[in-house]
Amino acid sequence: MSARPQLGFIAPALCALLSVCFALITLNQATRYGGTQAQSWLSERLATQPIQGLSDLNITLSDAQLELKLIELQRTGEPQSASYLSPLKAFKVATGAGGTPSLTSTTLSKEWFDAHWSPRAQWTRSGEVWLRRPLTPQERGALGRTGSSQLSLIARLAPPARSPLPWLEVTAGVLIALLGVYGLRRWAYDRLVGGALIGLWGSVCVSWPLLNSVSDLQQVVASWALSLHAPAPTLIPAELLVPLCASLPWLLLAIAHLFTRGRPSPNRVAYTYMAPTLISVSLLVFIPFALGVALAFTRHDHGRFEWVGLEHFYHILGGGLYELSHPLNFYFTLGVTVLWTALNVLLHTSLGLSLALLLNRQGLAFKGLYRALLIIPWAIPNYITALIWKGMFHQQYGLINHSLGLFGLTPVPWMSSFWGSMTANVTTNTWLGFPFMMVVCLGALQSVPRDLYEAADLAGASPWVKFRHITLPLLIPALTPAIILGSVWTFNMFNIIYLVSGGQPNGATDILITEAYRWAFEQDRYGYAAAYSLVIFVILILYARLTQRLSKAAEEVYS
Amino acid sequence: MSDDPQRAPWASRWPHLILLPFTALTMIPALWVIKMALKPSQSFDLSLSPWPSEVSFANFQALIGEPFFKEQLFNSLLVSGLTTVVGVTFSCTAAYALSRYRFTGRRAALNAFLITQMFPGTLMMIPLYTLIDALGLLDQVAGLILVYSTTAVPFCVWNLKGYFDTIPREIEESAVMDGAGPFTLFWRIIVPLSRPAIAVTALFSFMTAWNEYILAATFMSDERAYTYPVKLQQYVGEYRAEWGLFAAGALIVSVPVMALFFALQKHLVGGLTAGGVKG
Amino acid sequence: MIKHRAPLLLSLALCLASLLSACQTSAPDEPRSIHSPALTLWHAYRGDEASALLESLERFRAETGRAVRALQLPHQALNNKLQAAIPRGNGPDLWIGAHDRVGDYAEAGLIEPVGYWMTSSLVDQYFPRTLEALSYQGNLYGLPISFKTLALFYRTDLSPTPPKSLAELRSIALSLRERGVRWGLASPELDSLYFHAPWLHAFGGEATRLHERQSQEALLNSVSLISDLIRDGLIPPELNGALTASLFTSGQLAFVINGPWFKGDLEGTALPWSVAPLPTLSDQRALTPYLGVEGVFISSYTQDPTGAWALAQSITGERAARASLQRGGLVAQRALYQEEAPPALRAWRATFEAQLTNTRPLSNDPRMKRLWTPLKRLLSSVLFFQASPQESLTEALRAIEEQGS
């Protein structure tokens, strides 16, 4: 039994994973139905039904009561004088004789305001949602309320008395699961995979129309979400229920299969040992990652997300902010990033390795002191040291040009040219990064058995031969992770470029991650920034695949 | 064996010719930090000489006199210490499984760890916050520890796995013959032989948690629960920073790292050469 | 039939059970953010300012009985934390921040317009421009605590009276150069819109209106003026904040255009320095810097808007402002500037009060964010790398357009 690879659990795990990814890709719909995002749903509901007249102010949903009030904030006096004073007037929609709605106005009391004013989606005791949005100019015109006053629509959404379950989805999911499980006659590999595929694609086929269906379902889901009385967005939107239902029995079966065997199989031991790491990494890394992937297909605008598909990617890959002919376009920045990474990794590794070799020698005095001092660049927070380095590279008042002057060389205008700034960046990052590599190399050097060196000494080998044929081959498996990960980290190193050269001259030394951060933190455009990060991510994946193919040593690491 | 006595003076001294100047050059920026910490002025020092021009401990006194200084420093030590423990534990077990067992999903797991490092993390602040909030770990040390360990684990797993791979399997095979189970193999054979790599892992996990302030500031809502880097970053204001205080804080913050490194140094050498394990 | 029946049935049972538990309706219970007796306030103050704030919070507690929990944050982390925490109900009741994010907060629905509570007497208490800075689309969103703007710092030993015009400054600087003072004028960042704005505004342009011809011409004029000043050796070519401070304190720089935070760099030294309003350009056009206002904002998710409003009033009220003014802070309370100032602060207060009439509030419109990087690139390429101003302007305009899409 253990001769054949234990593939039985792959199918349900794959099923679950694909289902989750699939559901997350339609996150833009899902985000509407979570707790505080009921606000966006409601706003959109109101937006898709613009107010065209008084009768529109009476909107009721099936099972949920929606009450609308118009609130007018009026400014008294001219803007230069005592503006910012705004008594509240409320326009209530009353149903007059014959069922025709009419607009009557009252002034709201301060008490009413204090008791009811809940400007954003806020959960009250009875689970009501209160929302506010300003009326558009068109709506204002339709209601005959033109002028400079600030008109807002307050909506109160009360949940239905009885919260309906999404019976459709739950039933569909359970049926699909049973169907898949029924496909099992034996634990035969092919039937298992077949059953899993039926389960997966069945759930996809059933849930896809459900996900994209008409507003009735949206209402049902929204009121279900509202009835949960959760003040925070739920992490598991309703759409996930179908695939999760479909795949949960598979996952449980697989786990049961693993643990009900007699003797612990190698797989079981391995999974037990991997479990804590896998669980925490999946939870804390993959879920935000999946959300990030979903974000990349949306446009973010002040808390509202709008699905835009591949638009961001077209823009980025078409050169980004600059078109392809411009020197500063995306591909130029990509080239600069690759150059930056290559230089840094080369310097870190060679410096770290040389120092580790030197410090590993037998009988070297003050070894401990050297090691402790050389770790200082890593120990001090890099915010201050990066700025010190920047000061050292100042053309007129920096230490480096001053020292060059002492030796009679002409001072270099560091920050005025691309290569000067690049040198400054690389030097700073090398200073900051070599201690880490040194420590890793020191650790890795310990895995080289000393008797190999003794044998080589007896054979009369020179130090270089010893290094080349003993040290290096044995070090590479231990060093490769550090180099690969180090290059990934350097690729995404935002801090140093920002602090030292600031992207000068003129944005030439900016790297890709600087752009992504700029979009995220300067412009609050999280969707675009997420798309940028996804592009960076894909580039790095390709790089990893490339290194796997090119280097045999890396192959060994993976085997 | 040690070097031949006649070769000793030159052979054991020439590295100093390289190490001494290099270490001196490496120390220059650090000297500036010390200089700024010892000056009562709060401007960024741009003078040409890194030697301290005046010695005053006013900055250190001011730092120590800040409210909650001891609590915040202790929180930092606690968080980083536990991150180290959790990170080392998680990554040791995972690396053991990845190194010694061939199971399906192994390559996927290895790649997954690599992949986790590729997605720029700071952009995922808000989903991470939501997640931690949903788990109820906001404002708790456990939340921070969990996030930091998860950040540190991928490199640690890879590093340890690489090191475990170099340990010859014959050692384990002989133990298996004597009836040792997986845990005994792990705990009594692999771990003691991997002390250097574990020391590196521990130092790395510690550093991941130690200087980080953005996540700590976002997750914690009580000044008493802050870690020290959060407080340190407050000296960097919107328009200007108080460099004297920041430099002094930077020095205070570097000391535990150096201390940890000192403590781990003796583990950094050894491994296969210590304890007579020969094939 | 299936070999392992038990696990299968068990798993199906678990599946059903989890579904049912997720779907059950519980009785309506208290929302998570219960009305707590203490108000929470987040701020990024440090040192003296922080302790002064805590004092006024203590006073508030003594007077009204409401406790306030203040949380001190690093400045970089404040915005992040607000955006993450507030929508999830973990945010503060109030926070103290800069006015330029008001537009973003308002659009995102994070802050509460306070127009409802304002009275005309309250409106009269503050400088009107500070209130203008805190309002967005006609709604006032906070109360101003203090303001900051740029002024001219000079050394009284090098130049006993401050120059009133740029020509005067130039002649003083040239005569000082013969005495060994290398540089005449500096700002911490020449390529930042914030520090270039006084010149742009003096020529009649405005950064938010760069699509109009008038502002474009004004920008071209202002950069050419600064380029001339650099070329004449009046302004050092490569600058940063630390360098400006160090040149000024060591007597290598005669005049600095900087904000009130510069005082911190000068206080430790024994330098004789003073401030004056910014000089005018040759034809009486005033240099008009940006106005930055620090205000207290009320979260729109607060459970107790009335209490939060009372606290906001207390923080920006007369007593707290007077204490801050004594320490050299620039408060937004108008009447206090009429009071007698200690001699050390007389010039300080008078300068900034006078300069306030010649400022323009930094726009809090969310679209303002698009301007910073393209204009920084424009300024640095023209001023430092001698690029053609017209081409750089075209490129900057295109970049601004692109970002908006």
Q: Does any CB of chain A come closer than 8 Å to the CB of residue C109?
A: yes
pLDDT above 60 (res B272): no
SS3 A64: strand
> B45 pLDDT band (50/70/90 cuts)?
confident
pLDDT above 50 (res A215): no
Q: Does one domain contain both B189 and B201?
A: yes
The minimal CB distance from C4 to the residues A229, A256, A416 is found for A256
Residue labelled with tokens 């707290």: C320
Q: Does one domain contain both B124 and B105?
A: yes
Q: In this structure, are residues C68 and C320 in contact, taking their beta carbons and an 8 Å threshold? A: no
Which one is predicted more confidently, C55 or A451? C55
- H/E stretch holding A104 reads strand A101-107
* Chain centroid, CA A545 distance in Å: 22
Q: What is the mean pLDDT of residues B24-48?
A: 90
B contact chains, 3+ CB pairs < 8 A: A, C
Q: What is the mean pLDDT of residues C142-159?
A: 94
- H/E stretch holding A152 reads strand A150-158
Does the N-terminal peptide bond of residue A505 adopt cis geometry, omega within 30 degrees of 0? Answer: yes
In a domain, B1, yes or no: no
The minimal CB distance from B103 to the residues A270, A281, A376 is found for A270
Q: Does one domain contain both B76 and B195?
A: yes
Q: How many residues does chain B have?
A: 279
Q: Does any CB of chain C come closer than 8 Å to the CB of residue B66?
A: no
Q: Does one domain contain both B246 and B220?
A: no
Choose from A40, A84, A192 for mutation: most chain C CBs within 10 A.
Answer: A84
Q: Does one domain contain both B29 and B141?
A: no
> A34 pLDDT band (50/70/90 cuts)?
very low
Q: Does any CB of chain A come closer than 8 Å to the CB of residue B218?
A: no
Q: Which of A213, A282, A212, A199 is nearest to A242 (CA)?
A: A199
Residues 296-335 of C with CB under 8 A from A: 300-301, 305-306
Residues 236-275 of A with CB under 8 A from B: 264, 266-267, 269-271, 273-274
Q: Does any CB of chain C come closer than 8 Å to the CB of residue B237?
A: yes
Q: Domain residues for B37?
A: 18-43+54-59+237-251
Q: Which of B88, B42, B13 is nearest to B264 (CA)?
A: B88
Cα B79 to Cα B141, C80, C119: the distances in Å are 7, 22, 49
pLDDT above 90 (res C4): no
**Residues C313, A284: Cα–Cα separation, whole Å:** 42
Q: What is the pLDDT of residue A143?
A: 62
Which one is predicted more confidently, B90 or A19? B90
Q: Which of C378, C383, C164 is nearest to C279 (CA)?
A: C164
User: What percent of the residues of chain C are helix, what percent strand, and what percent coil, each to the nearest 5?
Assistant: 50, 15, 35
Q: Do A520 and B123 touch (CB under 8 A)?
A: yes
In a domain, B3, yes or no: no
Residue A134: half-sphere exposure toward Cβ, Cα within 13 Å: 14
pLDDT above 80 (res C14): no
Q: What is the pLDDT of residue B126?
A: 79
* Residue B237: Cβ within 10 Å count: 18
Instruction: Please give, rounded to a whole number of angstroms, the shortest distance from the CA of A435 to a CA of chain B.
Output: 10
> Rounded to the nearest 10 degrees, what angle do helices A266-281 and B106-116 cross at?
20
Q: Does one domain contain both B153 and B214?
A: yes
Looking at this predicted complex, what is its ipTM?
0.89
Q: Does one domain contain both B187 and B245?
A: no
In a domain, B163, yes or no: yes
* Structure confidence by residue, pLDDT tens digits, A299-327: 877 766 677 878 899 888 887 767 766 77
Which one is predicted more confidently, A400 or C116? A400
Q: Which of C202, A271, A412, A467 is nearest to B97 (CA)?
A: A271
- A238's CB contacts (< 8 A; 6+ apart) are A30, A33, A166, A169, A221, A224, A225
In a domain, B181, yes or no: yes
Q: Does one domain contain both B30 and B116?
A: no
Q: Does one domain contain both B144 and B219?
A: yes
Phi-psi region at B161: left, alpha or beta (left = phi > 0; alpha = psi -120 to 50): alpha
Q: Does any CB of chain B come closer than 8 Å to the CB of residue A517?
A: yes
* Structure confidence by residue, pLDDT tens digits, A228-269: 322 323 333 444 455 555 555 555 555 555 555 544 556 777
Q: What is the mean pLDDT of residues B250-255?
A: 94
> A39 pLDDT band (50/70/90 cuts)?
very low
User: What single-letter DSSP state applies at residue A471?
Assistant: I
Rg from Cα positions in chain C = 26
User: What single-letter DSSP state applies at residue A5?
Assistant: -
Q: Does any CB of chain A come closer than 8 Å to the CB of residue B72?
A: no
> C193 pLDDT band (50/70/90 cuts)?
very high
Q: Which of B91, B118, B165 is nearest to A486 (CA)?
A: B118
Q: Does one domain contain both B84 and B198?
A: yes
pLDDT above 90 (res A490): yes
Residues 1-60 of C with CB under 8 A from B: 44, 46-47
Q: Does one domain contain both B101 and B38?
A: no
Percent of chain B predicted with pLDDT > 70: 91
* Residue C352: Cβ within 10 Å count: 21
Choose from B46, B66, B211, B231 for mutation: most chain C CBs within 10 A.
Answer: B46
User: What single-letter DSSP state applies at residue A125?
Assistant: T
- The number of domains in chain B is 2
Q: In this structure, are residues B76 and B228 in contact, taking their beta carbons and an 8 Å threshold? A: yes
Choose from A78, A83, A124 for mutation: most chain C CBs within 10 A.
Answer: A83
Q: Which residue of A has its CA nearest to C13?
A: A249
Instruction: Please give, rounded to a whole number of angstroms, the shortest distance from the CA of B238 to a CA of chain C.
Output: 6
Q: Does one domain contain both B101 and B188?
A: yes
* Residue C158: Cβ within 10 Å count: 18
Identify all chain A residues contacting C26, using CB atoms and an 8 Å cutoff.
229
Q: Which residue of B has its CA nearest to C270?
A: B41
* Structure confidence by residue, pLDDT tens digits, A336-361: 999 999 999 999 999 999 999 888 88
Average pLDDT along chain C: 85
Q: What is the pLDDT of residue B168?
A: 85
Instruction: Write the DSSP string, chain B.
Output: -PPPTTTHHHHHHHHHHHHHHHHHHHHHHHHHHHHHHHSS--SPP--S--S-S----HHHHHHHHSTTHHHHHHHHHHHHHHHHHHHHHHHHHHHHHHHH---TTHHHHHHHHHHHTTS-GGGGHHHHHHHHHHTT-TTSHHHHHHHHHHHHHHHHHHHHHHHHHTS-HHHHHHHHHTT--HHHIIIIIIHHHTHHHHHHHHHHHHHHHHT--HHHHHH---GGG--HHHHHHTTB-SS-B-HHHHHHHHHHHHHHHHHHHHHHHHHHS-GGGTTT---
Q: Does any CB of chain B come closer than 8 Å to the CB of residue A442?
A: yes
Residues 217-236 of A with CB under 8 A from B: 232-233, 235
Q: What is the pLDDT of residue A135?
A: 56
Instruction: Please give, rounded to a whole number of angstroms, the shortest distance from the CA of B128 to a CA of chain C.
Output: 9
- H/E stretch holding A12 reads helix A10-25
* Structure confidence by residue, pLDDT tens digits, A92-149: 444 444 444 444 544 445 454 445 444 333 333 233 445 555 555 565 566 665 544 4
Q: What is the mean pLDDT of residues C355-383?
A: 91
Which one is predicted more confidently, B48 or A216? B48
Q: Do C109 and A505 touch (CB under 8 A)?
A: no
* Structure confidence by residue, pLDDT tens digits, C229-278: 999 999 998 888 888 998 999 889 999 999 999 998 888 788 899 999 99
Q: Which amino acid is at A51?
A: I
Tokens in use for A223? 């009121």
* Residue C180: Cβ within 10 Å count: 8
SS3 A407: coil
SS3 A122: coil
Q: What is the pLDDT of residue C262?
A: 92
**Residues A414, C379: Cα–Cα separation, whole Å:** 19
Ranked by mean pLDDT, which of A78-92, B95-109, C180-194 comes out on top? C180-194
Q: What is the pLDDT of residue A159?
A: 44
Q: In this structure, are residues B156 and B88 in contact, taking their beta carbons and an 8 Å threshold? A: yes
Tell how strand C39-43 and strand C94-98 pair up.
parallel
SS3 A77: coil
In a domain, B219, yes or no: yes
Q: What is the mean pLDDT of residues C2-31?
A: 41
Q: What is the pLDDT of residue A70?
A: 56
C contact chains, 3+ CB pairs < 8 A: A, B
In a domain, B168, yes or no: yes
Q: Does any CB of chain A come closer than 8 Å to the CB of residue B87?
A: no
Q: Does any CB of chain A come closer than 8 Å to the CB of residue B243?
A: yes
In a domain, B209, yes or no: yes
Cα three-residue angle C179-C185-C187, rounded to 5 degrees: 145
Instruction: Please give, rounded to a whole number of angstroms, the shortest distance from the CA of A138 to a CA of chain B.
Output: 35
SS3 A299: strand
Identify all chain A residues contacting C120, using CB atoms and an 8 Å cutoff.
82, 85
SS3 C291: strand
Q: Which amino acid is at B194?
A: S
> B137 pLDDT band (50/70/90 cuts)?
confident
Please report, for the domain that includes residue B224, its CATH number. 1.10.3720.10
- H/E stretch holding C352 reads helix C343-356
Q: What is the pLDDT of residue A558?
A: 57
**pTM of structure:** 0.79
In a domain, B11, yes or no: no
